[in-house]
Amino acid sequence: MIKALDAAGEGKANAYLKRLMWPLIVLAALLIVNIVVTGFGFIVPEVHDGRLGGAFVNILRRSAPLLLISLGMTLVIATKGIDLSVGAVYAIGAAVACQFLLDRDQSSMQNVAVAVALALAIAAVIGAWNGTMVAYFGVQPIVATLIFMIAGRGIAQLITGGQIPNVADSSPFVEIGRGAVATVPVPIIIGVAVFAALVLLTRTTALGMLLESVGGNPEASRLAGIRSKGITVLTYLIAGICAGLAGIMGAANLGSADANNGGLWIELDAILAVVIGGTALLGGRFFLLGTTIGVAIIGTLEVTIINVGLSSQWQFTDKAIVVFIVALLQSPEFRAWILKPFRSRGAGQAPTEPDSEKALAK
């Protein structure tokens, strides 16, 4: 609670800047490495066949599904929760949309719209179910969402009958993943739109503040008259819809839905992106822009590994290193331990206050 008061005292913009500084530095460093290795063309967008291309734009386009999931995850984590089921919901969303289109006229705009709506509705139901388990049955988030993490891919395979349904390249459905409007790739547009919608929803209405208060202290929020249960359900619902939309986008990009491998481990990447972006897993304050930068870092990291000539197997190892460093940096105990030699004895008397300041900075 002291942390929150400190931050409020410092002024909102300043606290934001401090939080975003580290992720931005990391992203800039990664970009510089890439520019040094592959030349300046890495960052410059170019127009190919009427749409934007270039290495960095492609990274953003490919990261769009992860961005959607991470944004939903940010809200869930802000309420002190976690959603492990998003990878499975991704697979279910992809499976529902593709399976619906499989036996129907794929070039019909109406069918595509129904397929997308159906997939989003099912994803929303799963999200609402997760939220209900957490808010009304009092099951811990990690357990409640574990159920769908385990069963979800089975359900996705049930929907597709164990096959991988394909959607023809001529269908408007694939435009969701590959198309471009005014040269900007559709996934990027959807990603930006969802980001803008969530920022508007949480920052211009009271919802964001209520979210932070529920995450900061659920009991105190309840006593203050906040209907924390409804808000909790809403965040899981949003996370479910985001995951379903990400699944549709991924399926549209591939033109098929793989129930087994679609979105595999994306929940872990999303949690990683949220944590890199400065949102603490303990709930409370959340940073949608930070999450976006976190997603860009993860996407750029994967490309950087290839560009600097390491084998693609390195991507697991370096993610481990990133998780490790971020987790340690966020730990007040670790910072106190590592800073001990640099601190004079007199200053060591009151370590808690400066530490919580640093917690905000990182």
Partner 1 sequence: MSSATLTERPTRSTLFDGLSRYIPIGATVALLVAMYLGGVANYRNFDNPQLIADLFIGNAGLLIVAVGMTFVILSGGIDLSVGSVMAFSTMACAWLTVEAGLPASVVVPSVLAFGLLSGAFTGAIIHYFDVQPFIATLAGLFLYRGLTLQISDHDMSIREIDFFSWGMQRVEFGSPRDGGFSLPYISFIAFGVVILAFVVLHYTRFGRSVYAVGGSEQSALLMGLPVARTKVGVYAISGFCAALGGVVAAFYTKSANPLAGVGLELDAIAAVVVGGTLLTGGAGFVLGTVAGVMVMGLLSTIIAFQGNLSSWWARIVVGVLLLAFILLQRVLARSGERRKG
Q: Which of 93, 131, 152, 177 binds partner 1 (CB under 8 A)?
A: 152
Distance between CA atoms of residues 210 and 123, nearest Å: 24
Residue 308 interacting with partner 1 (CB under 8 A)? no
Is there a contact between 81 and 232 (Cβ–Cβ < 8 Å)? yes
Considering the complex, state which of residue 59 and residue 305 has its C-beta at the smaller distance from partner 1. Answer: 305
Token pair of 64, please?
Answer: 């769009």
Whole-number CA gyration radius for the chain: 21
Residue 136 interacting with partner 1 (CB under 8 A)? no
- Residue 171 has φ and ψ, to the nearest 5°, of -70, 145
Minimum CB distance to partner 1, residue 12 (Å): 25
Tell me the residue length of the chain.
Answer: 362
SS3 category, 38 = helix
**Stretch of residues binding partner 1 (CB under 8 A), selected from 12-20, 120-128, 154-162, 250-258:** 154-162
Q: Which of 37, 47, 328, 361 binds partner 1 (CB under 8 A)?
A: 328
Residue 125 interacting with partner 1 (CB under 8 A)? no
- Residue 323 has φ and ψ, to the nearest 5°, of -55, -45
Minimum CB distance to partner 1, residue 313 (Å): 4
Considering the complex, state which of residue 195 and residue 314 has its C-beta at the smaller distance from partner 1. Answer: 314
Q: Which of 137, 182, 344, 353 binds partner 1 (CB under 8 A)?
A: 137
Residue 200: count other Cβ atoms within 10 Å of its Cβ.
12
Alpha helices in the chain (DSSP H): 2-10, 12-38, 55-78, 86-102, 109-135, 141-160, 175-178, 186-203, 207-216, 218-223, 228-254, 266-276, 288-307, 314-330, 332-339, 352-361
Give the pairing of strands 180-181 and 51-53.
unpaired
**Stretch of residues binding partner 1 (CB under 8 A), selected from 146-154, 166-174, 237-245, 250-258:** 146-154
Residue 282 interacting with partner 1 (CB under 8 A)? yes
Residue 315 interacting with partner 1 (CB under 8 A)? yes
Q: Which own/partner pairs from 305-314 qualify as long-range (CB within 8 Å, at least 24 positions apart)?
A: 307/33, 307/34, 307/37, 307/38, 308/33, 308/37
Q: Pick out residues in 74-93 that bind partner 1 (CB under 8 A).
A: 80, 82
**Stretch of residues binding partner 1 (CB under 8 A), selected from 19-27, 39-47, 113-121, 139-147:** 139-147
Distance between CA atoms of residues 74 and 41, nearest Å: 33
Minimum CB distance to partner 1, residue 2 (Å): 12
**Stretch of residues binding partner 1 (CB under 8 A), selected from 118-126, 137-145, 189-197, 354-362:** 137-145
**Stretch of residues binding partner 1 (CB under 8 A), selected from 12-20, 54-62, 143-151, 206-214:** 143-151
Minimum CB distance to partner 1, residue 156 (Å): 8
Question: Which amino acid is located at 113 in the chain?
Answer: A
Minimum CB distance to partner 1, residue 319 (Å): 5
Residue with tokens 């930006």: 192
Q: Which of 19, 61, 285, 319 binds partner 1 (CB under 8 A)?
A: 319
Q: Which of 29, 37, 224, 327 binds partner 1 (CB under 8 A)?
A: 327
Q: Which of 18, 51, 111, 314 binds partner 1 (CB under 8 A)?
A: 314
Q: How many residues bind partner 1 (CB under 8 A)?
A: 50
**Stretch of residues binding partner 1 (CB under 8 A), selected from 105-113, 166-174, 267-275, 288-296:** 267-275
Q: Which of 139, 192, 201, 207 binds partner 1 (CB under 8 A)?
A: 139
Is there a contact between 216 and 77 (Cβ–Cβ < 8 Å)? no
Distance between CA atoms of residues 135 and 190, nearest Å: 29
Distance between CA atoms of residues 14 and 19, nearest Å: 9
Token pair of 171, please?
Answer: 């269908």
Minimum CB distance to partner 1, residue 284 (Å): 12
Which residues contact partner 1 (rule: CB under 8 A)?
80, 82, 137-144, 146-155, 157-158, 162, 259, 268, 271-272, 275, 281-282, 311, 313-321, 323-324, 327-328, 330-334, 337
